[in-house]
Amino acid sequence: GEDVEQSLFLSVREGDSSVINCTYTDSSSTYLYWYKQEPGAGLQLLTYIFSNMDMKQDQRLTVLLNKKDKHLSLRIADTQTGDSAIYFCAESMPGNTGKLIFGQGTTLQVKP
């Protein structure tokens, strides 16, 4: 079945770049997503990438997609303390149903 895997924790210093990695199993996913969850809140969509793209950049965020290895990454440049949150990778389920499969989430800790 479909599965999405992430490492659980990442710690960086303020101003450094953060790279959060994700692997997925379903090569037919149309879109792949990154969601952010701040403490005590629901998830918010950060960015997404269409499966026929290799890279997408949006201000401090860069998404890289390696379809051959089924590997997705999110790079946050100049990481700030406000970036501390849990980041979830998600892939769309087959059949364009709108349903998503989420990874376990990576907790990003930004130290001043």
Q: How far is the CB of 62 from other proteins (least distance, A)?
A: 20
Give kind and range of the element (H or E) at residue 74. Answer: strand 71-76
**Segment 49 to 78, residues that bind other proteins, using CB under 8 A:** none
First vs last Cα of the chain: how many Å apart? 41
Bin 105: left if φ > 0, else alpha if -120 < ψ < 50, else beta. left
Return the number of the residue (18 or 29) whose C-beta is nearest other proteins. 29
Q: How far is the CB of 13 from other proteins (least distance, A)?
A: 26
Largest CA distance in the chain: 44
**Segment 80 to 109, residues that bind other proteins, using CB under 8 A:** 88, 92, 96-105
Q: How far is the CB of 38 from other proteins (least distance, A)?
A: 11
Task: List the structure tokens of 10.
Answer: 């990442």
11 CB-near residues (< 8 Å, 6+ apart) = 108, 109, 110, 111
**Segment 22 to 51, residues that bind other proteins, using CB under 8 A:** 30-31, 33, 40-45, 48
Return the number of the residue (45 or 77) whose C-beta is nearest other proteins. 45
Binding site for other proteins (CB under 8 A): 4, 6, 8, 30-31, 33, 40-45, 48, 88, 92, 96-105
